[in-house]
Amino acid sequence: MFNLFDISLKLSGFPIEKAKIEFEKILKIPEEDYGKYIEAKKKEIVEFHLKNSQYYKELNKGVEFNSWEELPILTKKDLQKPLKERLSEGYNEKSVFVNKTSGSSGDPFIFAKDKEAHALTWASIIYRFGWYGIDFNTSYQARFYGIPLDFFGNTKERIKDILSRRYRFSIFDLSDKVFEKNLMKFQKKKFLYINGYTSSIVLFAKFLASKKIILKNICPTLQCCVVTSEMLFEEDKKLMQEQFGIPIINEYGASELDIIAFQNPKGEWVINTETIFVEIVDDNNRPLPFGQEGKIIISSLYNKAHPFIRYEIGDIGVIDESSTPKKQILKKLIGRTNDIAILPSGKKSPGLTFYYVTKSIIEDNGNIKEFVVKQIKSNTFEIEYISQTELTVQQIKKIEKEMLLYLESGLKIIFTRKDKLERSKSGKLKQFQSLLKNEK
């Protein structure tokens, strides 16, 4: 069998074989030398961009590189300017890998990687999926991802699906009727693994639960499921494990960077220390020690086409205290920093607060399929939900009671039953959204 996946990368100009060799060399660096490797790569990439990137020079205001902590923290808004203004000397839009973020965080932008760096990203992904016996050249993927709807974009992705041995399921229509068709595909095709957006796959698991079906019984070749792009909650993971009959693996990544953390077979959420450098900082952008909670800041150690140095991804997390320079464990991922509710009293609550409050109550009933929480005014929240029947007065009162317990008194909560929830163009579902910035 031809290695179509590797061949497709090579035809696109990504030197995958060279990248795999380079990645293996990094993996072989012993623990005692790993700190030196990281520091050397940090220094090398900063000096490269200070020399070759006018954009990065301006961000640093022409100051020479003296210490890592003095370097500016980049935000997504810093990157929302024409790509050609951000590319390093010697690179142009035709010579690099160009893509765009989904915009699920509210700040979409176009980014670039040089082709060597992008190939190294793929080497990193191939290595981690390999922990579970997945080979992109041979393993058949059931893919729950979005897809461009325009002819050119759609055709391009369909061709990539063929070359990458994957079948793509629609995530723009998540009705039972569509899930019935999905189930028929699982009966006919020999999928090895499922990969895609968490919320879509959770809904499929709920559909299976309603039908009392174990997916592994329908598709015996299935070995695992990798969820990405959205938060994975423990109760959802348990549901998927029960209904799929296979291990559920949690991936945390960013399209503009690489895999950030990937769950290993021991259940540890292992941080990628090979191609990126992850640090946790406080609200004043001061680095925090392992074990303390703060903003996640990421630096790409190999991307020379575009600087991603001390880049604020928009999440909050904790690196486990037992971590070493080579093996770091993501102990906790708390969610998007921009998903913050500011209450009338001035109190700030992360968006996940609302998710936890409403999730357990809503799911007790069993008829709620999906819901989102929106902050309309400082004292007003709207819960949009999809269900077979409307919430009862008793259920609404219980949710209101929990909201006031976790937050504060004097809040108004509106419940709106919908046929369909608004998703991003890529198909992601944003569980909490503050509309305060749009208030007049």
Are 255 and 380 in a shared domain?
no
Which of left, alpha, beta for 173 (phi over 0: left; psi -120 to 50: alpha)?
beta
Are 195 and 212 in a shared domain?
yes
Residue with tokens 């009966």: 187
Higher pLDDT, 421 or 238: 238
Tell me which of 126-135, 289-298, 344-353 is least confident: 344-353
Confidence (pLDDT) at 364: 45
pTM of the model: 0.80
Mean pLDDT (the chain) is 87
Are 363 and 400 in a shared domain?
yes
Check which CATH number belongs to the domain holding 355 and give it.
Answer: 3.30.300.30
DSSP character string of 333-393: EEEETT-EEE-TTS-EEETHHHHHHHHHHHHHHS-EEEEEEEEEETTEEEEEEEESSPPPH
Are 344 and 263 in a shared domain?
no
Higher pLDDT, 346 or 111: 111
Confidence (pLDDT) at 100: 72
Predicted confidence (pLDDT) at residue 20 exceeds the cutoff of 90: yes
Q: Which residues pair with 224 in a beta bridge?
A: 193
Are 289 and 349 in a shared domain?
no
Give the pLDDT mean for 263-284: 96
Higher pLDDT, 261 or 437: 261
For the ranges 154-158, 307-311, 401-405, the one whose mean pLDDT is highest: 307-311
Question: What is the pLDDT confidence band of residue 150, given thresholds at 50, 70 and 90?
Answer: low
Check which CATH number belongs to the domain holding 323 and give it.
Answer: 3.40.50.12780
Tell me which of 127-131, 220-224, 398-402 is least confident: 398-402
Predicted confidence (pLDDT) at residue 333 exceeds the cutoff of 80: yes
Question: What is the pLDDT confidence band of residue 322, given thresholds at 50, 70 and 90?
Answer: very high
What domain range is 40 assigned to? 4-335
Are 115 and 258 in a shared domain?
yes
Give the pLDDT mean for 219-242: 92
Predicted confidence (pLDDT) at residue 331 exceeds the cutoff of 70: yes
CA–CA separation, 308 and 304 (whole Å): 9
Confidence (pLDDT) at 105: 47
Predicted confidence (pLDDT) at residue 285 exceeds the cutoff of 90: yes
Q: What percent of the chain has pLDDT over 90?
A: 54
Question: What is the pLDDT confidence band of residue 430, given thresholds at 50, 70 and 90?
Answer: confident
Confidence (pLDDT) at 232: 85
Q: Residue 251: enclosing H or E segment and its boundaries?
A: strand 248-253
Predicted confidence (pLDDT) at residue 439 exceeds the cutoff of 90: no
CA–CA separation, 124 and 192 (whole Å): 20
CA–CA separation, 206 and 329 (whole Å): 30
Are 345 and 324 in a shared domain?
no
Are 311 and 373 in a shared domain?
no
Are 326 and 352 in a shared domain?
no
Domain termination site, one of 335, 355, 372: 335
Are 356 and 261 in a shared domain?
no
Confidence (pLDDT) at 148: 67
Domain termination site, one of 283, 312, 335: 335
Are 346 and 305 in a shared domain?
no
Give the pLDDT mean for 17-32: 97
Question: What is the pLDDT confidence band of residue 365, given thresholds at 50, 70 and 90?
Answer: very low
Higher pLDDT, 207 or 149: 207
pLDDT tens figures, 159-197? 888 888 899 997 767 778 889 999 999 999 999 999 998
Domain count, the chain: 2
Domain termination site, one of 287, 305, 335: 335
pLDDT tens figures, 250-273? 999 988 899 999 999 999 999 999
Closest CA to 366 of 345, 337, 387, 340: 387
pLDDT tens figures, 59-95? 988 677 789 999 999 987 788 778 888 999 999 989 9
* CA 98 to chain CA mean position, Å: 18
Tell me which of 106-115, 161-170, 241-250 is least confident: 106-115
Kindly list the distances between the CA atom of residue 146 and the CA atoms of 80, 173, 239, 428, 430, in Å, as whole numbers in the listed order. 23, 11, 23, 8, 14
Confidence (pLDDT) at 362: 59
Tell me which of 126-130, 142-146, 361-365, 409-413 is least confident: 361-365
Are 78 and 116 in a shared domain?
yes
